[in-house]
Structure 1
Amino acid sequence: MTVAGTVTQSDSQPAYEVLRRVWGYDEFRPLQEEAVSDVIASRDSLVVLPTGGGKSLCYQVPALVRDGMAVVVSPLISLMKDQVDALTANGVAAALVNSTQSDEQKRTTAARIRSGEIRLLYMAPERLLSERTLSFLESVPISFFAIDEAHCVSNWGHDFRPEYRGLRILKQRFPDASVHAFTATASERVRDDIAEQLQLQSPKVLVGSFDRPNLTYRMLPSDGKLRQIRNVIDQHRGESGVVYCITRKEVEQTAAALESAGVSSLPYHAGLDDATRQANQEAFIQEKVDVIVATVAFGMGIDKSNVRFVIHAGMPKSIEHYQQESGRAGRDGLAAECVLIYSGGDTMTWKRIMENGDRSNFEDAMKSVYSMADLCSGVRCRHAAIVSYFGQEFDVDNCNACDVCLGELDTVEDPVTLSQKILSGVIRLKGRFGVAYTVKMLTGSRDQKLMDAGHDQLSTYGLLSNEAASTVKMWVEQLISQDYLARVGEYGTLALTPTGQQLLKRIGSVTLTRPNLKSSSRSSSRGAKPETSWEGVDRGLFEHLRSLRSELATQRSVPAYVIFGDAVLRQLARQRPSVLNKMSNIRGIGERKLEEFGTLFLESMDEYCQGGDLDRDVSVTDTSVAPPPPPKRPASAKGTLAQNEANDLFRQGKSIAEVAQAMGRAESTVNGYLSSFIAEDGIVDASPWVEAKKIPWIEEAMAASDDGRFKPIHDALAANDAIEDKISYEEIRVVASCFRNKPATT
């Protein structure tokens, strides 16, 4: 076996250089630098960062610093494909191997690995652990192994996958290669199990904050669930969002109802055939549809950064699941909304599902369900409640990013007296009944079981008969969440806690709320920094650039965020750079992206800003935030030189393919250079690059676009039966560039 030499270190400088050059960032997020340093130093490590915390950079950056090839273990093909697409777009040699590939594709990848070209190789645990794969990897330089979604290793985790257990063999077969585990959610018990199962050697354990400050949490009692879902979606029109449902049937019904109401949506669940499920997922990722309605089968493999809202149309089965599912929102660091619509039946639904499954862990599973129910009905800051569940402290008095702290809950005027009534009712039932039965007794239900037991004769019977059963149930659950009541045993019967006994004597304080179903106003979260908020952003230009991004993503068959994330588009629409060297200062634009897309986006901004008479090169300053990071190297100078080189070649009469070959650039990049060349030289004849017969068709179809976007033009041409030959976006761009140089006619 050949193992690549490790890098000792103070290699933080090479890591920062890679971060700037490839990803266009000047600084790491919290804990990223420490995690990167551990990988570079070849120290086994276990890293827990919440969804959106930037786990992938923790192993992608070191893979480009260290010698040899890094092997990344990932559970889903879609997740691997997205990461490889994103890496490739940034100019990184990455590949994946999976069962859907042909033998020829696998042979090509093997040849690239042997030649030393591949820096990151992605594969599922099953393929990695095959003897053929292990033997092959022993013959090439391996820098390290990165185990993504590492909680799958532990049967105490929320997504245990037995095949992950076999990864312990890596330390035996590759004793000189370090192993690094990454996950979004793992309790201390799960972390210890991961380290033991993977046989990590004295691993460095890094646990980031479980708080996601850019997310705004709201917990709403169900009251016309579909209407509540629609209200949230209406506030996010045109934005990407996920609606989670507990059952497949509810997914189908919700998706159909939303579609009939004019919401662009598709269903996703394990009951759909593979082709439909994959097509729906791709439509969502590529922004051909706004909303995906799904069971929890959807999500782990989704690396879509610009999900602006997540709605749970039912309670998840644990806070771990909620943290991960709600964490699909706002992965780009921009503000996003998470709304959970819950009802009393959710707990029983999960209980039935678990009773019909593996009962070996039933009691622990139900404890997780009850903890989630307590979060829903609780009156404590949602951010604080989630963070404390994972054993961390929350040191913010008011998060300003949840329904509790935003004052959207209506509090009861005399909560102690009301609590005493409920606690007394629990005492009269002698701790033998659960929430539902207790609520029936307190509200004076004529339920036959209650009558037969003689509980209609209790002094507390009907004590809250003037209140809705759903409201009383909410109060009971709020008393549980504040530790005045507790669920006991497998059946969750109610009992008073010591603090509950004290509250009966009016010792202590309690908060109870009434449903406030009207409050769902959007608000900015405390994590929305000026550079990533909407402040100063021209929304029209943002949408204009978003359309260009969509076109480019469609042409390349990649997710839109692979081109540029929403944060980059907002910065472009805020600062509106006029030249490449100023565009290079936008956070998130690396060298390859600047070369590949810089000219295209500058041209698009030129079109929009000239029409709207907008200022360019807007300076963004804000003394309330930390000083800006040091300026980047002027990588854009390279882009300017490349444009000049392309101009010279075009003036020599070279075709797009010839220029691409001469410059060693992709044809898509050269198309951008061509558009700038046409504008600079005032060219009005597109025939050197577009067949003459196509030009009139394109010019005629240009009337289909009011704002200069190419998609309406492309669609109009595709719908014209008189046109036999397919017309590409590149041809449309060339003709449009020439057309703009023609003198206006009167």
Structure 2
Amino acid sequence: MLAEAILNDPAQVLRQVFGFPGFRGQQEAAVNHVTAGGDALVLMPTGGGKSVCYQVPALCRTGTAVIVSPLIALMDDQVAALRQLGVNAGALHSEVDPAEARSITRDLIEQQLDLLYVSPERLLSNGTMERLGHLRLALFAVDEAHCVSAWGHEFRPEYRELARIPAMYPGVPRIALTATADARTQADILAALRMDAAKVFVSSFHRANLRLSAEAKVGETAQLLEFLRRHQGECGIVYCGSRAKTERMAAKLNQRGFAAVAFHAGLDPELKRDSLARFRSGEALVVVATIAFGMGIDRPDVRFVVHLDMPDSPEAYYQQIGRAGRDGDPADTLLLFGGQDVAQARHWLAQSAAPEARKRVMRTKLEEMVALTEAVSCRTQSLLGCFGEALEVGCGHCDNCEAPPVTLDATTEAQMVLSAVYRTEQIFGAEHIVAVLRGERTEGVIRHRHDRLRTFGVGAAHVATYWRGLIRQLIARRALDVDTEGHGGLFLVQDEARPILRGEAKVMLRQERAPVVRAERAERSRPGVGGSVGVSLGRGGEPVQASPQQASLYEALRLWRLAEARGQSIPPYVIFHDSVLRDIAAQRPATLQELGQIKGVGASKLERYGRPVLGVLGAPLPAGLVKRDG
């Protein structure tokens, strides 16, 4: 096994195997703690390097490390990446070919595996846990550990069975990892896994490369198309709340010239595999998906995530936008929301069969999500606050920081809305109420004789979008609600509406604004087919604008990587991330030794790809070595 062939020093393993010069943030402390045999709970944002926290100790300790994960795509990517590093890794889950499963099981029994990735269902069946009891185990890692918590947004009952691990494998250290867990969820993870003595390592949840933005829905298809035009030729994910909507929206995008695929749990298995293969291949693809897609996706160059429907909690939102910008480069997010979304989410929660204690927590999280959509201060600060983290100053890169919203005292107008809803018997939708306020003699207004009401025409001074925005914000404030089981009629929520009608509570209206059109960032030159090389790191670590020659070398390296990946049937980013290729193009190493100094080029990859890479760069090659085609 690899761990027996190298020094049991975490820093050496990090350098020799992974090609990284040093640990980041909390990584070193967590790695040293687990390597020494301690239990740990690690909270790091997506892209923060959680996998290093168990992969390095796995190679430093004797035996096989078992990594429990519910995410098939991520397991497969991790195994492929580790094998590229010369690590003997395998995965056991429902989609593994039977012959491959037998081979992996044989390697496991013969103690030839450094790391075994396994789904919780596979771990708990087929005698897997009993088989592991006869082997030397380096550690147990529980990835996506929020799935064990009843308070988490991805609760999976089978994860609770992992509480049996300490009794069955005494003395084997455990590490639980997640990117999303508030204080309540953290405590529940530790209790559910019986990790009372575990040390907790918490990193900042701030993803400085993510730009957060949210807009009220005024025409979601048009808003989405405008957003996508700014990201032409880039890869991204568009989340929808229903399966039917994913297919409908993917069809619309393809009609408009965007390469798009739908993805949801009910899709034909072959279509799902094809869509996932296209996504992993590095293609500039828009995946229109339900939340069945994205969890466990390891592609680093996802440049945007759009939500066409509001997530039900900040944790779910953070997890989903975390799929963007895993490579550290700038990435955009957009959340489109409306009053109907809020009302529908509240209705579904009210109808949930969950225990009342869980529903109370879910209700709190939903209201935090609603408040996040209507935030008038730094949106990043608001999101981090949901995880108990305080950002002292505004992030400077969310929509509210870039263009601070204007708030107006709309108490009088709010009273008009509430009065109009009440006087129309609380059975009509927003469009009808707006027509009454604006004095529009529509067919419905005339038929119901609402042109005779005292509120008819009192709001003629404001445009329809003003009133729709105010109604949406009154729904968010819970002064109004929507009859989702009926015909979508608005009705008053007395506890919140009464103080407004009496003038005892103010209503500050967020003034709607046109989306900010931003100049392209220097880091993001428009890509051609599949990418760009806007800014690279020079030898001193400082940003350097790419020259035409560097850009040409970068594209040549990408073409070589694509051909190599296709030959091995693996995703291109498993060979080298774009950031590694950018650094190679910028520094243009002339020897294997110089190439080996670049971050991300470990010993195994240097041996496997060093000469071909130098060949692409046009560097002198040893005699007799034929230069590969780029």
Asked if TM exceeds 0.5, the reply is yes
Distance 2:39 2:446 in 1: 59
- Distance in 1 between residues matched to 2:17 and 2:392, nearest whole Å: 35
Q: Secondary structure at the match of 2:618?
A: helix
Alignment counterpart, residue 377 of structure 2, candidates 376, 380, 383: 380
Cα distance, 1:394 vs structure 2: 0.7
Instruction: Report the residue type matching 1:223 in the other structure.
Output: V
Match of 1:14 in 2: 9
Contact 2:376 2:400 (C-alpha < 8 Å) held by counterparts? yes
Does 284-293 or 88-97 show the bigger shift?
284-293
Instruction: From the superposition, tell whether residues 454 and 573 of structure 1 become closer, same or farther in structure 2 (CA, over 3 Å).
Output: same
Closer, same or farther: CA 255–237 of 1 in aligned 2, 3 Å: same
Distance of aligned partners of 1:113 and 1:505 in 2 relative to their CA distance in 1, 3 Å threshold? closer
Find the residue that maps to 1:71 and give its secondary structure: strand
Output the TM-score relative to the length of structure 1.
0.72
**1:535 alignment partner in structure 2:** 545
The answer to whether the 8 A contact 2:20-2:602 is kept is yes
* Equivalent in the alignment of 1:25: 20
Of 513, 519, 533 in structure 1, the residue corresponding to residue 517 of structure 2 is 519
Structure 2 counterpart of 1:564, one-letter code = F
1:352 CA drift (Å): 5.5
**Matched residue SS, 1:378:** coil
Q: CA deviation at 1:385?
A: 0.9
SS at the partner of 2:267? coil
Q: Cα distance, 1:261 vs. partner?
A: 2.3
- Of all paired residues, the percent bearing the same amino acid is 35
Q: Does the 8 A contact of 1:71 with 1:121 survive in 2?
A: yes
Mean Cα displacement is larger for which, 300-309 or 106-115? 106-115
CA contact (8 A) 1:52 1:333 kept: yes
Deviation readout 1:116-161 (Å, 9 max, x if unpaired): 3211111011221236212211111012110011111112110111
- Note if 1:675 corresponds to 2:626: yes
Residues 292-330 of structure 1, C-alpha deviation per residue, up to 9 Å, x if partnerless? 111111011211111111122222222211111111001
Distance 1:32-1:472 versus aligned 2 partners, 3 A rule: farther
How far apart, CA to CA, are the structure 1 residues paired with 2:393 and 2:27?
A: 23
CA contact (8 A) 2:417 2:471 kept: no
Q: Distance in 1 between matches of 2:428 and 2:201?
A: 40
Tell which structure's C-alpha radius of gyration is larger.
1
Aligned pairs for 1:58-69 within 5 A: 58-69=53-64
Contact 2:378 2:400 in 1 (8 A): yes
Aligned position for 1:600: 612
In the alignment, is the contact (CA less than 8 A) between 1:400 and 1:525 conserved in 2? Answer: no
Name the CA shift for 1:349/1:551 in 2 (closer, same or farther; >3 Å): farther
The answer for the alignment partner of 1:572 in structure 2 is 584
Q: Does 1:279 align with 2:269?
A: no
Match of 1:316 in 2: 311
Deviation, structure 1 residue 502: 13
Could you tell me how far 1:168 is from its partner in structure 2? Answer: 0.6
1:199 CA drift (Å): 0.9
| Alpha-carbon separation, structure 1, partners of 2:545 and 2:497 | 49
Residue of structure 2 aligned with 1:405, choices 379, 382, 401? 401
Alignment of 1:424-573 (within 5 A): 440=434, 463-475=458-470, 493=493, 495-496=495-496, 512-517=510-515, 519=517, 521-523=519-521, 535-536=545-546, 538-573=550-585
Question: C-alpha displacement at 1:99, in angstroms?
Answer: 3.2
Change (3 A) 1:176 1:573: same
- One-letter amino acid matched to 2:101: K
Rate the CA distance shift 1:410–1:209 in 2: closer, same or farther, 3 A: closer
How far has the Cα of 1:372 moved from its partner?
2.1
Decide whether the 8 Å contact of 1:310 with 1:326 is kept in 2. yes
CA distance in 2, matches of 1:57, 1:272: 34
Residue pair 1:305, 1:332 contacting (<8 A) in 2 also: yes
Does 2:122 align with 1:124? no
CA distance in 2, matches of 1:500, 1:539: 60
What is the 5 A alignment of 1:664-703? 674-676=625-627
Q: 1:171 aligns with which of 152, 166, 178?
A: 166
Q: 2:413 aligns with which of 414, 421, 428?
A: 421
SS in 2 for 1:405: helix
Q: CA deviation at 1:499?
A: 11
Unpaired stretches in structure 1, ≥5 consecutive residues: 6-11, 608-639, 651-673, 677-732, 738-746
Q: Distance in 2 between matches of 1:594 and 1:492?
A: 67
Give the corresponding residue for 1:226: 221
Counterpart-to-counterpart distance in 1, 2:27 and 2:300: 18
Deviation of residue 493 (structure 1)?
A: 2.8
Do the aligned residues in 1 keep the contact of 2:234 with 2:302 (CA within 8 Å)? yes
Deviation of 1:260 after TM superposition, in Å, equals: 2.3
**Gaps spanning 5+ residues in structure 2: where?**
485-490, 525-534
Q: Counterpart of 1:588 in structure 2: which amino acid?
A: G
Query: CA offsets, 1:64-116, max 9 Å, x none?
Result: 11111110001122221111001111111111122334554333223322333
Deviation at 1:566, TM superposition (A): 1.6
Alpha-carbon distance in structure 1 between the residues aligned to 2:279 and 2:365: 31
CA distance in 1 between counterparts of 2:420 and 2:25 reads 52
The correspondence of residues 211-290 of structure 1 with structure 2, limited to 5 A, is 211-290=206-285
Give the distance between the partners of 1:332 and 1:434, measured in 2 at CA. Answer: 50
Deviation at 1:429, TM superposition (A): 7.6
CA deviation vs aligned residue, 1:350-405 (integer Å, no higher than 9, x gap): 345556653545565454334323222322211111001211101223x2211111
Q: Deviations over 1:396-439 (max 9, x none)?
A: 23x221111111x6635xx13x3453267559989x98997697
CA distance in 1, matches of 2:543, 2:335: 24
CA contact (8 A) 2:420 2:437 kept: no
The answer on whether the counterparts of 1:244 and 1:312 sit within 8 Å (CA) in structure 2 is yes
Cα distance, 1:214 vs. partner?
A: 0.5
2-side partners of 1:27 and 1:497: how far apart?
57
Deviation track 1:582-613 (CA, whole Å, cap 9, x = no partner) reads: 22222222121222222222222339xxxxxx
Mapped to 1, the partners of 2:569 and 2:12 lie a distance apart of 30
- CA RMSD between the two structures: 3.9
Give the conservation status (yes or no) of the 8 Å contact 1:571–1:586: yes
Asked if the contact 1:305/1:561 (under 8 Å) is kept, the reply is yes
Quick check: 2:182–2:386 contact (8 Å CA) kept in 1?
no
If asked which structure has higher relative contact order (CA below 8 Å, sep 6+), I would say 2
Shift in CA distance, 344/532, structure 1 to aligned 2, threshold 3 Å: farther
CA distance in 1, matches of 2:523, 2:109: 48
